[in-house]
Structure 1
């Protein structure tokens, strides 16, 4: 019995944020179209700047009714995500009763009427790939924390200053916390950065 419980908890840890909970919503908006110079455009509004990344659809649209600065949207998303700090981990969760890593990111973006896929590995197909040196607050950081060699964890960058990157995410051990990419575990598991806004 003890071996079974150990195996069960180990398996749960390995899949951590690979939730497949169906939220019943369709992916509606990805903001941040690459311009000719390769930088994201700066205006956001209805049917403007729809993402061109793989996995995007020309039918995707944004629900915002007026032009809003991307920086303001990113700040709102970060501020809302931080309200969940201390929330316990719950596989498939998206509320203050408990949430997983992709649930936190999904919920924070949804507050700004931006619907991302519900699973971290699917989130990693949206937006545009960003060089680590160009990382900004509001970008998404992706990780491979299991032996399956697939993206299974996501965090939201809340600070990118003086070479240190801090991100908010939900972990199986501590729930929603802010971590640093300087921590050995996250540095080794890090895969890529993507910009959705």
Structure 2
């Protein structure tokens, strides 16, 4: 009997340390759920985005952390650009669509391509397509932008976690939908690759750490 109880306890501990099943694992699922949809922008909006990129390629990234932190990040990413507030909604939709193009791609430590992504690699490559260079690791990403309360989170914000007994942030995703208290985010998980999950899943609920806004 003692052996059986021991085995049951081990199984419960093992399953408790794993995330629950993903909400969305493919672009088709995301389309059906209305999470992924190609943004429609006027020619004027597209032109404004391109004009902003051309005029600001030599400027520093406008991620709006504290003055000390922004100085350090800017020194590392001198080719980054400013993103105009008026175009932020369109930019956020494009970031979400770019990340969602990788749904179903497998996990790969250090990966930043469709051959496989790690969590920070997915965010890094997604933002880089729009000339925004984020730090390469999740805990460094957590030092930029403006921290916001979870109840004020919105699409495009980065969401961070501390899991597997770590003492510092070691996982990052991007919020793709906020519906009341249900926050969905795209990320690359070690078990399932690029997926969309919910903060209501017990694993992510208990490992959640913070939300940062990098697009104002």
Decide: shared fold, TM above 0.5.
Answer: yes
Structure index of larger Rg = 2
| Aligned CA distance change for structure 1 residues 48 and 189 (closer, same or farther; 3 Å) | same
Q: Aligned partners of 2:86, 2:113: CA distance in 1, in Å?
A: 26
Is 1:96 the counterpart of 2:114? The answer is yes
Unaligned runs of 5+ in 1: 1-12, 14-42
Q: Aligned partners of 2:83, 2:167: CA distance in 1, in Å?
A: 40
| TM score, norm. by length of structure 2 | 0.66
| Aligned CA distance change for structure 1 residues 153 and 49 (closer, same or farther; 3 Å) | closer
Q: Aligned partners of 1:190, 1:148: CA distance in 2, in Å?
A: 12
Indicate the RMSD between aligned Cα atoms, in angstroms: 2.5
Residue number in structure 1 paired with 2:63: 51
Q: Aligned partners of 2:83, 2:168: CA distance in 1, in Å?
A: 37
1:1-197 alignment runs, 5 A limit: 45=52, 46=56, 47=59, 50-54=62-66, 55-57=69-71, 60=78, 62-63=80-81, 69-197=87-215
Q: Aligned partners of 1:153, 1:84: CA distance in 2, in Å?
A: 17
Q: Spell out, residue by residue over 1:41-86, the C-alpha distance to the aligned partner (whole angstroms, 9 max, x if none).
A: xx99434883341421265564369886111111111100000000
SS at match of 1:69: helix
Q: Aligned partners of 1:143, 1:137: CA distance in 2, in Å?
A: 17
Which structure carries more helix by proportion? Answer: 2
Q: Aligned partners of 1:51, 1:144: CA distance in 2, in Å?
A: 22
